[in-house]
Amino acid sequence: MKKFLLIFLFTVSLLGGYAQRTIKIDTKSADVEQWINRNFGKGQVPPFSFIYDGTPSERFIKKWNYQKVRDTKAGADVCAYTVTYTEPKTGFQVECEITGYPKYAAIDWTLRFTNKGTANSAQISDVRSADLSLSTSSKGAFRIHYAEGSTGSRQDFAPRMMDLHMGDSLYRAPHGGRSSSHAGFPFFNIETAADCGAMVAIGWTGQWYGRIKPISESAVHLDAGLEHFNAYLKPGERIRTASVCLLFWKGEDRMIGHNQFRRFMLAHRSRKINGETIFYPMSCGFNWGDPAPCNEYSCVTTEYAIALMQRTKMFGILPEVFWMDAGWYEHSDEYEKGRNWYNTTGTWIPDKERYEKGFRPVSDYAHKLGTKFMVWFEPERVSPGSEWAEAHPEWMLSKKGNGNYLYNLGNPDALKWLCQYMGDFMEQNGIDHYRQDFNIDPLDFWHQADEPNRRGITEVRYIEGLYAYWDYLLQRFPNMIIDNCASGGRRLDYETSLRSAPLWRTDYQYSEPMGYQCHTYGLNFFLPQHGTGAYYVDRFDFRSSMSSAVVFNWKFTQTGQSFLDMQKCIEEYKEVRPYYYEDYYPLSGTGNLTGNDCWLAYQLHKPSDQTGYIIAFRRPDNKESDYNVKLSGLDAERTYILTCKDTGKSMEKSGAELLKGLTLHIANPRASLLLRYYPK
């Protein structure tokens, strides 16, 4: 057997261990459809499981009525099926929607349950959207690559690695119901000792879990799904659960898997406009740094906004999107009454004193300049006494000891009303892009609203409602993008990535460059689309903020900055930005990179023409002016020209030399280096 063969053992957890069957599958793209047909075939135990009426599904699923239907409209580059398993007596049905992506050796599936009977179903629990084992032909530890979620710290999205031996296990789940909060970051790379592996992504914007555990010297078990679900379904009731993606890769370098996954995400799991993958924008805010007691955008007026847009045009620093953040709504500037942007959500009406005609004058002016206009909302967190809280208390979920309400997206009437209200608001005010924040942990709200013997049903309905809401907006406004903010990047998962991207990926200390470097470095392993703020124009600070999107928070009158420097930043960013959508290679390993005494460097590489950039930082307390790195992705037989973007100096090196090592030089601490390379 060739080393790169993967053997998948699909299992269901039993009281005494794992019931296993073995399927050998090549990672070549041609095997994807065969993989689907074999593993979701009639008479087979599928790669998911659940407990129904106290019995594990693997004991009965092969006895249920089976049907498989191919989606003939799926497209030339995908294959899609719907497989159903129906209990003969009651009509209870399990439905699995499966899609294969042959070019990327990827498969994803989503599990749904439907009660087609006339009485309540039996209890459903331990829902595992993925329940399978991965084995290789070689014995050895499985190396798991993953990342931290967001806590608003320098460690947000920090890359992690764990070698799993017998007796070890890796269990990850978010904190509080937001999918990438704290320990929750639902993306993994399982690297084997046989020069192959599997990328894993979980799509659930609530309380998911994932567990990886060795079951032999050459096999590891993976199960993932809803962490809290134990409920029956009422007659006619239908629910969905988490989606799961597996992407198979082979090669000696695990970055092959990461880059294959990044390309897959851009091709099939990112926002498209007119069928094309889009660049997320260079944005500009309106009033960062206004004097107290102003906070956020609570002191912005129509006149101020238009004047600022005029200045960006005059200075030659016009952004692609103007960004109106929190604090534009009624009561958010009533400081003498103790009101601010945070405790007045739920009254989504522009402040009449500051925006007499709503946002239309602002958006019209942005459009006149040839740019777009984006506005911040937080519809899910509702303040007591707000318009929505008073008008629709029946749509509010509450939690003992919490001063906010949670707008219940799982309520069909509330969802329908929200879609219409927000859609009309966007249209009437000429808003192009939608920014949604979420500064509250929803899990306990959901649990307190659950009916007896229906644990987790409120969460399921809520997450279904969130997807339906975003899908409605994207369908109504086909040229719109959604900026996914949840106290920064605390809602990043396989499902939200399809609909949105985090233009403000963490609420970590604003403008702190070392943290920004860490966040870019860690997130790039898995997600190619994300952004953060840029506050200063010196090269170290600005390059620390660069990623596939950026938000300019420059204070135009601030001492020590000039609009000429701002122009240079924008010019440099436009040159480099496309490469954040290409292959990514970390050059500083995955150890502790959060200190002020280290170097941090990474490579952006375009395989199609062998061009790329090296971005490096020497931090303030580092004592070494030289740093050795090994580049990747290059052709060993070609000669490359490397040009320093700061000095203009160039040098030639062979691909073989660069693959073995390159010494980066930064003479002074707290400085950066930007090298462009291209083949001769």
- What mean pLDDT is predicted for residues 349-359? 98
The residue among 133, 136, 192, 137 whose CA lies nearest residue 10 is 133
Torsion of CA 198, 199, 203, 204, to 10 degrees: 90
Residue 30: its pLDDT value, please? 52
- pLDDT per position as a tens digit, 425-469: 999 999 999 999 999 999 999 999 999 999 999 999 999 999 999
Task: Characterize the bridge pairing of strands 276-277 and 282-284.
Answer: unpaired
Matching residue, tokens 């190396």: 143
Is omega for the bond preceding 293 within 30 degrees of 0, making it cis?
Answer: yes
What is the phi-psi region of residue 362: left when phi exceeds 0, alpha when psi lies from -120 to 50, beta otherwise? alpha
Residues of 68-87 as b/e, b for ≥16 C-beta within 10 angstroms?
A: eeeeeeeeeebbbbbbbbbb
Between CA 546 and CA 569 the distance in angstroms is 10
Cβ contact 271:278 at 8 Å: yes
DSSP structure class, residue 292: T
Cβ contact 584:259 at 8 Å: yes
Q: For the chain, what is the radius of gyration of the CA atoms?
A: 26
Residue 25: its pLDDT value, please? 36
Say how many CA atoms lie within 13 Å of 222 toward its Cβ: 27
User: How many other C-beta atoms can be found within 10 angstroms of the C-beta atom of residue 565?
Assistant: 17
Cβ contact 217:104 at 8 Å: no
Residue 181: its pLDDT value, please? 98
Residue 303: its pLDDT value, please? 96
Question: Is residue 183 predicted with pLDDT exceeding 60?
Answer: yes
**Dihedrals φ, ψ of 644, to 5°?**
-80, 125
Tokens representing 487 are 């106290």
Residue 90: its pLDDT value, please? 93
Cβ contact 25:88 at 8 Å: no
Show Cβ contacts of residue 452 under 8 Å, excluding neighbours closer than 6 positions. Answer: none
Largest CA distance in the chain: 77
Cβ contact 172:185 at 8 Å: yes
Q: 457-476 vs 412-428: helix axis angle to the nearest 10?
A: 30
Cβ contact 568:601 at 8 Å: no
What is the phi-psi region of residue 244: left when phi exceeds 0, alpha when psi lies from -120 to 50, beta otherwise? beta
Question: Is residue 560 predicted with pLDDT exceeding 90?
Answer: no
pLDDT band at 17 (very low <50, low <70, confident <90, very high): very low
Between CA 381 and CA 378 the distance in angstroms is 6
Cβ contact 83:98 at 8 Å: yes
- pLDDT per position as a tens digit, 468-498: 999 999 999 999 999 999 999 999 999 999 9
Residue 400: its pLDDT value, please? 86
Show Cβ contacts of residue 624 under 8 Å, excluding neighbours closer than 6 positions. Answer: 599, 618
Residue 8: its pLDDT value, please? 36
Show Cβ contacts of residue 443 under 8 Å, excluding neighbours closer than 6 positions. Answer: 176, 177, 206, 207, 228, 459
Cβ contact 398:449 at 8 Å: no
Question: Is residue 594 predicted with pLDDT exceeding 50?
Answer: yes
Cβ contact 297:324 at 8 Å: yes
Beta bridge partners of 611: 606
Residue 6: its pLDDT value, please? 40
Domain ranges of the chain: 6-139+200-269, 584-679
- pLDDT per position as a tens digit, 48-104: 999 999 999 999 999 999 999 999 888 879 999 999 999 999 999 999 999 999 999
Residue 23: its pLDDT value, please? 37
What is the phi-psi region of residue 138: left when phi exceeds 0, alpha when psi lies from -120 to 50, beta otherwise? beta
pLDDT band at 16 (very low <50, low <70, confident <90, very high): very low
Question: Is residue 14 predicted with pLDDT exceeding 80?
Answer: no
Question: Is residue 18 predicted with pLDDT exceeding 70?
Answer: no
Q: 360-368 vs 302-315: helix axis angle to the nearest 10?
A: 10
pLDDT band at 31 (very low <50, low <70, confident <90, very high): confident
- What mean pLDDT is predicted for residues 567-580? 98
User: Average model confidence (pLDDT) for the chain?
Assistant: 93
- What mean pLDDT is predicted for residues 153-179? 97
- What mean pLDDT is predicted for residues 413-425? 98
- pLDDT per position as a tens digit, 356-409: 999 999 999 999 999 999 999 999 999 999 999 999 999 999 998 889 999 999
Tokens representing 407 are 């707008």
Q: 584-679 has which fold?
A: Immunoglobulin-like (2.60.40)
Between CA 65 and CA 511 the distance in angstroms is 58
DSSP code per residue over 412-428:
HHHHHHHHHHHHHHHHH
- Residue 267 belongs to what H/E stretch? helix 255-268
Task: Characterize the bridge pairing of strands 124-136 and 49-52.
Answer: antiparallel
- pLDDT per position as a tens digit, 624-658: 999 999 999 999 999 999 999 999 999 999 999 99
Length of the chain in terms of residues written: 680
The residue among 180, 198, 233 whose CA lies nearest residue 490 is 180
Three-state secondary structure call for residue 229: coil
Percentage, residues of the chain above pLDDT 90: 87
Distance, CA of 497 to chain centre:
5
In one-letter notation, the amino acid at residue 538 is D
- pLDDT per position as a tens digit, 240-266: 999 999 999 999 999 999 999 999 999
Between CA 116 and CA 237 the distance in angstroms is 8
